[in-house]
Structure 1
């Protein structure tokens, strides 16, 4: 009987963690270029039941479920028009490379601006990188061509770094919508995505789907909670009945 309580408890724990993932996605539904996380669950190892004393096999018994981990869905979000010169959205694959105090990081958030030195920076002041180093835009007119070249007053000054990797699962999320590339990403190379000037990428969180997932996780939690409550009532009756004729 206690095995059943443990199985139900594992279901409650998994449902709570899955609900936390969905809640975080919904909290970032309006975050520029946010990529949603998906929970991955798996069952614990099944047990083979045998009947004693003839040792006859009765079949297998599930022992619960656990959250095996999460993965990030890197599919593109929709493009939202802003008409701001330094709002850049990547149409297709790729990430902007930015210089942070901790080293090079990667982001899809193209909500940029100019600092006092005429360098293109993120909202946190991180330098946006081109092929020749930090992007600089000293001039009146700033534009981009189809090859992601930065054009200032009619002259090409650099090419924006838009890169991708062999295995995106090797990227590690950090704060401020940044990703760190671990050795597991494999090779870094130029991406095929093109920058759309005057646009920002929306998050790829679908509110309706996320709300449905939250309801499912909540109902799963409540169902397992009722199972434990039933087991608890049964055990209480069994204990109170011990010694009664």
Structure 2
């Protein structure tokens, strides 16, 4: 009976993580360059394999929420006509400088700060091959390989630093639409740079809204199961204690 309670409890835990993941995806449906998360749960069969060769009596039941996997597929590319909007076509990330160190992002909605540096709306400076890119409010012309010129193409400024992960699984979300990974897990990227475009979030509403309802139903089902198990346990304890 206690195993029944454990199964329902682990189901609730997995359902809550799934609900949190789906809700976060939906909340970022309009976030530029956002990458959706996918939660995969391990079930009974995986547990059997994981416990092979371990002590007898240690086997668990139910499901456990595993790590979130990143959906690295591209979002839709939308023309904006804005000179400082950029999108990457292919695998790759822009590199930005933050107070916490280097971060990677697909968001290309850049602007110029008061010091003349290209940056994100949150102030993080965009990096080129020479370091932070300074343009002093000039209008830019950017080649598809990331080389930046003034509008007349008479002066070379820098080249957008674009990298790609060696192992995408090692990418970690750290908030603010940023990713982080070990320095030895990045290499120069070959993604094409589109000026005047933004990449939309790759969150698919047709997948997420049904998943939201499914998560809610899953939680309700496990909550009911936990309640039934609790009532049965209570009844068993009370009945066993009666003198007949």
Higher percent of residues as strand: 1
- TM-score by length of structure 2 reads 0.85
What count of residue pairs does the alignment treat as equivalent? 230
Q: Is the Cα contact below 8 Å between 2:9 and 2:222 reproduced in 1?
A: yes
Distance (Å, rounded) in 1 between the aligned partners of 2:209 and 2:174: 25
Confirm or deny that 1:12 pairs with 2:12: yes
Give how far 1:46 is off: 4.4
**Cα distance change, pair 2–135 in 1 and its aligned pair in 2 (3 A):** same
Give how far 1:188 is off: 2.4
Confirm or deny that 1:154 pairs with 2:158: no
Q: Which residue of 1 aligns with 2:212?
A: 214
Give how far 1:233 is off: 3.4
Give how far 1:234 is off: 3.0
Q: Which residue of 1 aligns with 2:55?
A: none
Q: Which consecutive residues of structure 1, in runs of 5 or more, have no partner in the other structure?
A: 48-60
SS in 2 for 1:15: helix
Whose radius of gyration is greater, 1 or 2? 1
Q: Is the Cα contact below 8 Å between 1:46 and 1:63 reproduced in 2?
A: no
Deviations 1:113-148 (A, max 9, x none): 112332211112222111122222247541111221
- TM-score by length of structure 1 reads 0.85
Q: Which consecutive residues of structure 2, in runs of 5 or more, have no partner in the other structure?
A: 50-58
Match of 2:102 among 104, 109, 127: 104
RMSD of the alignment, in Å? Answer: 2.2
Q: Which residue of 2 aligns with 1:52?
A: none
Confirm or deny that 1:189 pairs with 2:187: yes
Distance (Å, rounded) in 2 between the aligned partners of 1:3 and 1:209: 33
Give how far 1:28 is off: 0.9
